[in-house]
């Protein structure tokens, strides 16, 4: 028997093993779904699902329970592999290129737009769920549709907001978290003076680094392209954002130049960092581990508004996609539909404790958003988010430029002082030209 490490494989589901793990009520629901579903799994179907490595343990537990139930009710065996973002994305691209590997990938951002022809058409599943649950948020549709076809299912988003230590912000002279960029810079300056600095990822981080770097750009009116997909990155507005981050970077905790997703979590939980951007996973970990000194003294806030005069937030999307090379398309579609039906999705949301947000409007009033006031801002993740292609179209060029970390590296260069704001903007513009042909 082949063996898998914890990093490579979470669990292979099916048969007697699944039966032992599934609550009776969930198994009953799965059997009822299997009877009514318009997608009947192929005989002998098995599915390999590749996903990002979890950040909240209870989310993983809830997801595995739902997969277990589906597997037992339908007889479809499911293997779940888990990888960190920076390993997941190239493996997903390789599978698309060679036409072999996972059947389903639970991936990040708009990566399916990098290899759209390798994706199975999920329009029937999307229409079924959207019609049943109040419709999809517009940004979810934008991320998922290419040339009128759903190449991905916008399973969920992850809010990426400000995480901060309440007592340290108050000691810095602020009764509440700043709502504009000038006051935010003032707060970060005072926190650094007090020996309790904040910090943000400046490495090529798919989640946290991208989210805050795009906020820097957009908050000052800069953007990669205009409404007609003309490249406009090297602009006075972009330079203004980089001049701002050059000042902000001087307040950061040492070491952020190499931070990827996860480094800021560790720094915050160790008490070394007083402000950072993240999902709710820092708070969830502190609560789960009984770290009351952290959990009771932290909260979350929206991103401050800059000279652009409106919210300019970028949050993470986690789409589910099915590869065209799968031998079991009906089984894959049935599984995705099962996961997003109300009872299952409600359980998934509860297990995610606010880390993952809904993309179907019917789940706006889920109790996960009200049972803990420190989760409140995360309810607004999807309606407040822009796509990284703002304000142009989301397609191959935008996805390619994004995957190349052009905005992240530009912001890092200005924040670390390795280039002047003018140099960083000009060089980033040149890098983007290879994707946006002029």
Q: How far is CA 266 from CA 87, 162, 199, 438, in A?
A: 20, 15, 12, 43
140 within a domain of the structure (yes/no): yes
Q: Do 100 and 207 share a structural domain?
A: no
Q: Do 59 and 133 share a structural domain?
A: yes
Q: Do 172 and 288 share a structural domain?
A: yes
Q: Is the pLDDT reported for residue 329 higher than 90?
A: yes
**Residue 438: what pLDDT?**
59
Q: What is the arithmetic mean of pLDDT over 347-370? A: 95
Q: Is the pLDDT reported for residue 18 higher than 60?
A: no
Q: Do 122 and 105 share a structural domain?
A: yes
Q: Is the pLDDT reported for residue 13 higher than 60?
A: yes
Q: Do 411 and 271 share a structural domain?
A: yes
Q: Do 233 and 88 share a structural domain?
A: no
* Residues whose CB is less than 8 angstroms from the CB of residue 239 and which lie 6 or more positions away in sequence, other chains included: 222, 421, 422, 425
Neighbour count for residue 6 (Cβ, 10 Å): 8
> Which domain CATH number covers 184?
3.40.190.10
Rounded Cα–Cα distance for residues 335 and 132 (Å): 17
**Residue 264: what pLDDT?**
95
Q: How confident is the model at residue 299 (pLDDT cuts 50, 70, 90)?
A: very high
Q: How confident is the model at residue 15 (pLDDT cuts 50, 70, 90)?
A: very low
For residue range 32-46, what is the model confidence (pLDDT) as tens digits?
Answer: 999 999 999 999 999
175 within a domain of the structure (yes/no): yes
Rounded Cα–Cα distance for residues 164 and 82 (Å): 29
382 within a domain of the structure (yes/no): no
Rounded Cα–Cα distance for residues 310 and 215 (Å): 11
Between 367 and 1, name the one with better pLDDT.
367
Q: Is the pLDDT reported for residue 230 higher than 50?
A: yes
Q: How confident is the model at residue 1 (pLDDT cuts 50, 70, 90)?
A: very low
For residue range 405-424, what is the model confidence (pLDDT) as tens digits?
Answer: 999 999 999 999 999 999 99
Q: Do 276 and 129 share a structural domain?
A: no
Residue 59's H or E segment, with its range, is helix 57-74
296 within a domain of the structure (yes/no): yes
**Residue 332: what pLDDT?**
98
Q: Do 260 and 131 share a structural domain?
A: no
94 Cα distance to chain centroid: 21
Q: What is the mean pLDDT of the chain?
A: 94
Give a three-class secondary structure readout of 166-187: HHHHHHCCCCCCCCEHHHHHHH
Q: Is the pLDDT reported for residue 2 higher than 80?
A: no
Last-in-domain residue among 339, 369, 399 = 369
Buried b (16+ CB within 10 A) or exposed e, 143-175: bbbbeeebbbbbbbbbbbbbbbbeebbeebebe
380 within a domain of the structure (yes/no): no
Rounded Cα–Cα distance for residues 142 and 122 (Å): 14
Residue 161's H or E segment, with its range, is strand 161-165
Range of the domain at 187: 161-313+387-433
**Residue 112: what pLDDT?**
95
What is residue 326's three-state secondary structure?
Answer: coil
Rounded Cα–Cα distance for residues 401 and 389 (Å): 9
Q: What is the DSSP letter of 40?
A: P
Q: Do 58 and 201 share a structural domain?
A: no
Neighbour count for residue 383 (Cβ, 10 Å): 14
Between 3 and 183, name the one with better pLDDT.
183
Q: Is the pLDDT reported for residue 291 higher than 60?
A: yes
Q: Do 249 and 213 share a structural domain?
A: yes
Q: What is the arithmetic mean of pLDDT over 271-292? A: 96
**Residue 331: what pLDDT?**
98
Q: How confident is the model at residue 276 (pLDDT cuts 50, 70, 90)?
A: very high
pTM of the shown model: 0.92
242 within a domain of the structure (yes/no): yes
172 within a domain of the structure (yes/no): yes
Q: Do 355 and 276 share a structural domain?
A: no
Q: What is the DSSP string of 75-126?
A: --EEEEEEE-HHHHHHHHHHHHHHT-S-SEEE--TTGGGGSGGGBPP-HHHH
What is residue 55's three-state secondary structure?
Answer: coil
Rounded Cα–Cα distance for residues 372 and 353 (Å): 9
Sign of the torsion angle spanned by Cα atoms 8, 13, 15, 20: positive
**Residue 23: what pLDDT?**
87
Q: Is the pLDDT reported for residue 17 higher than 90?
A: no
Neighbour count for residue 363 (Cβ, 10 Å): 20
Rounded Cα–Cα distance for residues 152 and 93 (Å): 15
Q: Is the pLDDT reported for residue 12 higher than 70?
A: no
Number of domains in the chain: 2
Percent of the chain past pLDDT 90, that is, above it, reads: 93
337 within a domain of the structure (yes/no): yes
For residue range 112-148, what is the model confidence (pLDDT) as tens digits?
Answer: 999 999 999 999 999 999 999 999 999 999 999 999 9
Q: What is the arithmetic mean of pLDDT over 51-68? A: 94
Going along 275-355, which residue ranges are E strands?
275-278, 298-301, 313-314, 316-322
Q: Do 168 and 87 share a structural domain?
A: no
Backbone angles phi, psi at 64, to 5 degrees: -65, -35
């Amino acid at each position: 028997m082949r063996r898998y490490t914890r990093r490579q494989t979470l669990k292979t589901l099916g048969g007697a093993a699944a039966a032992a793990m599934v609550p009776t009520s969930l198994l009953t629901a799965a059997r009822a779904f299997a009877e009514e579903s318009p997608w009947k799994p192929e005989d002998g179907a098995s599915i390999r699902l590749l996903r990002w490595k979890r950040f909240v343990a209870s989310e993983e537990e809830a997801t595995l329970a739902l997969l277990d139930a589906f597997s037992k009710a339908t007889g479809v065996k499911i293997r779940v592999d888990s990888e960190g973002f920076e390993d997941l994305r190239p493996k997903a691209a390789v599978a698309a290129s060679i036409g072999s590997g996972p059947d389903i990938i639970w991936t990040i951002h708009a990566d399916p737009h990098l290899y759209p022809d390798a994706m199975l058409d999920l329009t029937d599943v999307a229409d079924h769920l959207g019609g049943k649950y109040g419709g999809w948020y517009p940004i979810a549709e934008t991320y998922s549709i290419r040339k009128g076809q759903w190449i991905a299912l916008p399973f969920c988003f992850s809010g990426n907001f400000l995480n901060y230590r309440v007592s340290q912000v108050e000691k810095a002279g602020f009764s509440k978290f700043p709502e504009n960029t000038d006051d935010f810079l003032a707060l970060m300056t005072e926190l650094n003076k007090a020996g309790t600095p904040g910090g943000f990822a400046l490495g090529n981080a798919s989640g946290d680094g991208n989210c805050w770097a795009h906020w820097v750009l957009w908050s000052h009116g800069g953007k990669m392209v205009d409404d007609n997909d003309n490249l406009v990155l090297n602009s006075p507005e972009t330079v203004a954002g980089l001049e701002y981050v050059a000042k902000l970077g001087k307040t950061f905790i040492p070491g952020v130049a190499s931070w990827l997703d996860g480094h800021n979590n560790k720094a915050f939980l160790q008490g070394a960092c007083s402000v950072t951007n993240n999902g709710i996973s820092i708070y969830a970990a502190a609560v789960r581990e009984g770290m009351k000194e952290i959990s009771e003294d932290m909260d979350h806030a929206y991103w401050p508004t800059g000279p652009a005069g409106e919210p300019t937030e970028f949050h993470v999307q986690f789409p589910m996609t099915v590869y065209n090379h799968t031998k079991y398309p009906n089984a894959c579609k049935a599984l995705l539909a099962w996961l997003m039906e109300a009872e299952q999705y409600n359980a998934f949301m509860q297990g995610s404790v606010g880390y993952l947000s809904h993309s179907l409007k019917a789940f706006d009033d889920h109790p996960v958003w009200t049972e803990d006031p420190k989760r409140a801002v995360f309810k607004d993740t999807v309606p407040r988010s822009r796509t990284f292609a703002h304000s142009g179209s989301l397609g191959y060029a935008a996805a390619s430029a994004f995957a190349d970390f052009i905005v992240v590296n530009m912001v890092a260069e200005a924040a670390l002082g390795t280039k002047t704001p003018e140099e960083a903007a000009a060089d980033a513009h040149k890098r983007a030209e290879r994707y946006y042909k002029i």
